[in-house]
Amino acid sequence: MKIAVCVKRVPDTGTRIRIADDGRSLSSDGVKFVLNPYDEFAVEAALQLAEAGVADSVTLLTLGPEEAKETLRHGLALGAHDAVLLRGETTMDGWATAQALAAELARREDGLVLLGAKAVDDDQQQVGPMVAGVLGRPCVTSVTEVEVADSVATCRRAVEGGQEVVEVDLPAVATVTKGRYEPRYASLRGIMMAKRKPIAEKEAAQVAPGLVVEAIEYPPERQPGRIVGSGTEAVGELVRLLREEEGVV
Amino acid sequence: MKDVLAVADTRDGGVLGVSRETVGAASGLAEAWGGSVDAAIPGATEGEVALGADRVLRMPLSNEAAGNPDLVAGALAGQVQGHGYSAVVFAATARGRDLAPRVAARLDVPLATDVIAASVEEDDVVVRRPVYAGKAIARVRMLARPAVISIRPNVFERAPSAAASSADALATPADVGAGTYRVLGFEPSRDVALDVAEAEIIVSGGRGMQGPDHWHLLAELRDALGETAALGASRAVVDAGWRPHAEQVGQTGKTVTPKLYFAVAISGAIQHLAGMRTASVIVAVNRDAEAPIFGVADYGIVGDAFEILPELARAIRELRDN
Ligand SMILES: Cc1cc2nc3c(=O)[nH]c(=O)nc-3n(C[C@H](O)[C@H](O)[C@H](O)COP(=O)(O)OP(=O)(O)OC[C@H]3O[C@@H](n4cnc5c(N)ncnc54)[C@H](O)[C@@H]3O)c2cc1C
Ligand SMILES: Nc1ncnc2c1ncn2[C@@H]1O[C@H](COP(=O)(O)O)[C@@H](O)[C@H]1O
C-alpha cells in the first residue's frame, strides 16, 4: 500500500506577523517558514505505518510556490520516499486547494491519504474532508492514532469529552492531530539522503477562489490589565473585581 | 426570498446550547435578506426544541447514524439544494467541523470556518475570522452561493429560546450499514468532567505547578467555580504527561473563548495566547511579575500559586455560598 501525505509550508508559529502594505496579505520579510506542525503528525503517522511494514512508500504532496520545495526536502529528510510539488497559489479558499490536491491524488493509488487537522496559517480545518469529498472516499478527522489491517483503517479520534474509535474501508482519507505521534527530528543522514530523493514538479490544476480576503487587520489590543496585588492578600480584591466589575463569578 | 439554514449540534439526542448561537448568527443574515431561518437537527430529538428558528427540520437518526458525518452531510446537502438556501451556518464544534467541509464540498462552494462576525454587504455574506492563531483577523467576502460558514462558539448572541412556528421531518437514510464509516465506540476521557472547549470558565495550569500531584489545587478552584468550569493546561504540562492532550489550550491544542480564564503558573508563550486570548476576562497568577501572561491578563496576582490557589478557591466558595 502507498500513503500520500499532504503538507503545507506555513510561517513558524513563533513568528511575529506583519501585515503587508496592500492590507490584505502578510509581509514575508524575515518570516521563517516551516512544515505545518499538524502535518508533522501526519508525516509521523505515515512513517510509522511504513516502518511497521503496512505501507511500502510515503509520498509528500504540496500545493505552493517554488519555495515549498524546502518544506518537501524537510519531510524527505524525516524519511518520506518521494514528493510532488504542485506549483500554484495557496489562498484561504480550502475548497480550491482541495480540488487541486485531489486532481493529483485521483491519478495515484494511495490506500491512505493523510493530512494535518489544520494548517496554522489560515486555521480553516477543512481541506481533508473536502479532498475526501472530491475523491469519494471516507474521511476520519482529528485522528490521534491509526492502524491498518485487511484493507481497513481503525482510527482513534479526539472529540469533545473523549475519544471515538472509527473504522473505514480503504482507500480512505484521515486528518491527523496531536496524540500518539511525536514528530521525529531529521538526522544528518536523513538530510543527506533527502538531497537525492525525487521531487516531481507540476503545474497545479487550479480553480478560481470562491472567497476573497478583502482585508487583514491586527486584532484589537486587549486593554492593558492591572496587577491586583501580590500574594494571598490580593485574593479578596480579585474576587470582588470578578464579581462586581465583571460579573463572572 | 433568501433563507438561511442553521445546523444544530446534538449529543445523545439532546440539542446543545451552542445551537442557539448558530441560529442567532443565521438570523442576522436572514434579517438582512428578509428571509427566514430553518434549523436542521441531526439526531433524534423528542419534544419541543426552542431554538429561535422559524422552522425546525428534525432529522430523526439513531445515535450511530448521527455519528456518521457522511450520512448527515449528504442529507443536509440534499436539503440545501432542494430548498435553495442562500447561506448555511454551522457551529465550529467537533461535530460542526466535521460536517461543514463535507457539505460545502458536496455543494461545490467554499467554506469560512471559525467566524467571529457575519453580515450581508451588497448581497454577499462578509465574515471576519481569526487567522495565524488569532494574531490577525481576516475580512472575507463569500462569492459563491450558498455562503457556508461555521461560527466560533461563545461569540455570537444566542437566539431567543422560542419555539418554531412549524416543524418538519427531513428525510435521511436510516441505515448506516451501506456507508464505509463505522463508529465502533466512544471512550470518555477519565476525570474530564467537562470539555475545555465547551466550558464557560477555565482554570489552566502550567509548568510552574511542578507536577501532576499538585493538580488537586486547580481542581479545587474549578469545583468552587461550579459546573460550567473545566480544567485546562499548557503544552509544557501535556508534553510532560501530567495532563491529557484534550486539556491543552493553544496553537496545537484547543482554541477557547470562555467568559473567565485563569492562567496559573503559565508564562504566556505566544502559542498559548493563541488559544485563549479571546477569553472575555483573563486572570493570571504567576510568581514572576515580568511573565508575558500579565501583558494580556485583565487582572493579575504576583505570587506563589501554591499559596494563592487554596485561598482563591476558599474565597470563591464563600462568595457562592452567600
Ligand atoms: C509549534 C508549537 C506549538 C505550540 N503549541 C502550544 C500550545 O498549543 N499550547 C501551549 O500552551 N504551548 C504551546 N507551545 C509551547 C509554548 O511555546 C511554551 O513552551 C509553553 O506554552 C510553556 O508552557 P508553560 O507556560 O506552562 O511553561 P513555562 O514557560 O515554563 O512557564 C512556567 C511559568 O510558571 C511560573 N511559575 C513557576 N513556579 C510558580 C509558582 N510556584 N507559582 C506561580 N507561578 C510559577 C513561572 O514564572 C513561569 O512563568 C507550542 C510551541 C511550538 C513551537
Ligand atoms: N497548499 C497545500 N498543500 C498541501 N496540503 C495542504 C495545503 N493546504 C492545506 N493542506 C493540507 O490540509 C490540511 C488542513 O488544512 P486547512 O484545512 O487549510 O486547515 C493541512 O494540515 C495540510 O495537510
Domain containing residue B233: 201-321
Q: Are residues B211 and B67 in the same domain?
A: no
Q: Are residues B39 and B135 in the same domain?
A: yes
Q: Classify the phi-psi angles of B23: left when phi > 0, otherwise alpha if psi is within -120 to 50, otherwise beta.
A: alpha
The answer to whether A249 contacts B319, with C-beta atoms less than 8 Å apart, is yes
Average pLDDT estimate for A212-239:
92
Nearest Cα residue to atom 7 of ligand 2: A8
Percent of chain B at pLDDT exceeding 90 = 73
Q: What is the pLDDT of residues B204-235, one digit of tens each?
A: 999 999 999 999 999 999 999 999 999 999 99
Q: Are residues B32 and B147 in the same domain?
A: yes
3-state secondary structure chain B: CCCEEEECCEECCEECCHHHHHHHHHHHHHHHHCCCEEEEEECCCCCCCCCCCCEEEEECCCHHHHCCHHHHHHHHHHHHHHHCCCEEEEECCHHHHHHHHHHHHHHCCCEEEEECEEEEECCEEEEEEEEHHHCEEEEEEECCCCEEEEECCCCCCCCCCCCCCEEEECCCCCCCCCCCEEEEEEEECCCCCCCHHHCCEEEEECHHHCCHHHHHHHHHHHHHHCCCEEEEECHHHHHCCCCCHHHEECCCCECCCCCEEEEECCCCCHHHHHHHCCCCEEEEEECCCCCHHHHCCCEEEECCHHHHHHHHHHHHHHHHHC
Which of A39, A124, A127 most suits a substitution to test ligand 2, by most atoms within 8 Å of the C-beta?
A127
Which of B204, B209, B234, B273 most suits a substitution to test ligand 1, by most atoms within 8 Å of the C-beta?
B234
Average per-residue pLDDT in chain B? 92
Q: Residue written as cell 454551522?
A: B90
Chain A contact set for B237 (CB, 8 A): none
By the 8 A CB rule, do B279 and B271 touch? Answer: no
Q: Are residues B137 and B205 in the same domain?
A: no
Q: What is the pLDDT of residues B131-164, one digit of tens each?
A: 998 889 999 999 999 999 999 998 999 999 888 8
Highest mean pLDDT of the ranges A163-172, B158-167, B192-201:
A163-172
CATH class of the A2-203 domain in this structure: alpha beta
Residue B178 has a pLDDT of 46
Q: Are residues B34 and B158 in the same domain?
A: yes
pLDDT above 70 (res B191): no
Q: Are residues B11 and B127 in the same domain?
A: yes
Residue B162 has a pLDDT of 87
Q: Are residues B135 and B248 in the same domain?
A: no
Q: Are residues B45 and B12 in the same domain?
A: yes
Q: What is the pLDDT of residues A111-160, one digit of tens each?
A: 999 999 999 999 999 999 999 999 999 999 999 999 999 999 999 998 87
Q: Are residues B43 and B162 in the same domain?
A: yes
Residue A159 has a pLDDT of 85
Percent of chain A at pLDDT exceeding 90 = 90
Residue B63 has a pLDDT of 75
CATH at residue B59: 3.40.50.620
Q: Are residues B20 and B115 in the same domain?
A: yes
Q: Are residues B127 and B263 in the same domain?
A: no
Chain B contact set for A20 (CB, 8 A): none
Average per-residue pLDDT in chain A? 95
Q: Does B13 or B185 have the greater pLDDT score?
A: B185
Q: Tell me the whole-structure pTM to 2 decimals.
A: 0.90
CATH at residue B266: 3.40.50.1220
Nearest Cα residue to atom 30 of ligand 1: B207
Q: Where are the domains of chain A?
A: 2-203, 220-249
Assign A222 a pLDDT band (cuts: 50, 70, 90).
confident
Of the candidates B131, B245, B277, the beta carbon closest to that of A178 is on B245
Q: Is A44 at the interface with chain B, CB within 8 A?
A: no
Task: Return the ligand 1 atom nearest residue B234 CA.
Answer: 11
What is the count of structural domains for chain B? 2
Q: Are residues B241 and B305 in the same domain?
A: yes
Q: Is residue B107 part of a domain?
A: yes
By the 8 A CB rule, do B144 and B104 touch? Answer: no
